[in-house]
Amino acid sequence: MKLSIAVVQFNPVRDNIKKNIRKLRRLLTGIKSDLVVLPELANTGYLYATPEDLLPLAEPQDGSGAFLTTLRELAAQTGGLIVSGYAEVAEGKLLNAAAAVTQDGVIANYRKTHLFDHEKALYSSGDTGFQIVEWQGVKIGMMICFDWIFPEAARTLALKGAQIIAHPANLVLPYCQNAMITRSIENQVFTVTANRVGKEHLDNLHLTFTGQSQVTTPGGKILYRGPTRKESVHVVEIDPERAVNKRLNTNNDLFEDRRSSLYEID
């Protein structure tokens, strides 16, 4: 079985959802793919001073807002599932979320478990836990950006059966792309990190996003690593069945060999 994956790297403009939608329409023109992964907070950009500044731009997960409605249209155009980060509003709370969207609407919604730095001043902590969505017979897990630094995130998704981990990101630290190679190896899964590019400034805070969006195999091979500064779309083809077998050799199985009782902390 073959599955095509499009990893989209672009520079979302802060406080301009219409422009970000236009960018995505342009980038995905002519793209056909079973799975499309977009960066974290692709609708709003990243830096905001207060929750009140961001709240008018956030959308409910029901797909009624302009950004998620557009993702439905783009899913119909690409012929696949789109996983994208976005700013969500629910019961007056802001959440850093990722939606899995088909032409029929949102089929899964994940809220970021591990908030990074100043995000803690904007967003409520995610409460969904790590979830699996099944698409075309393939099990796909979602995590967002800083979740990468906690091995438990990818391991939980893998234990739940994920063959692919879709990973929308706004990375500023230099470690993640290489760390995701390890996440792929230790869980024997494909990982798809869709990172953004560009810079944002807010008062004395200056961020440069690292680009280098990446697709990695269960064996740790980098199928694709994007440019550092340019917007791009790249499509790779994988065999998701490669992520089913967790056996490394005759005597070792990554999951069967786990000794959970010895991992507990008193």
Active site residues: 40, 112, 145
Cα 182–Cα 153–Cα 58 angle in degrees, nearest 5: 120
Q: Beta strand 199-202 with 232-238: parallel, antiparallel or unpaired?
A: unpaired
Strand partners, 3: 238
Q: Which residue has the tokens 């792929």?
A: 184
4: which strand partners? 237
Residue reference for tokens 């155009």? 77
- The beta-strand segments (E) located in 10-80 are 35-37
Cα 150 to Cα 182: distance, rounded to the nearest angstrom: 12
The 3-state DSSP composition of the chain as helix, strand, coil percent (nearest 5) reads 25, 30, 45
Residue 81 token pair: 């599932």
> If 0-12 CB within 10 Å is exposed, 13-18 middle and 19+ buried, where does residue 175 land?
exposed
End-to-end CA distance of the chain: 45
In the chain, the amino acid numbered 36 is V
Residue pair 197/213 in contact by the 8 Å Cβ criterion: no
3-state SS, residue 141: strand
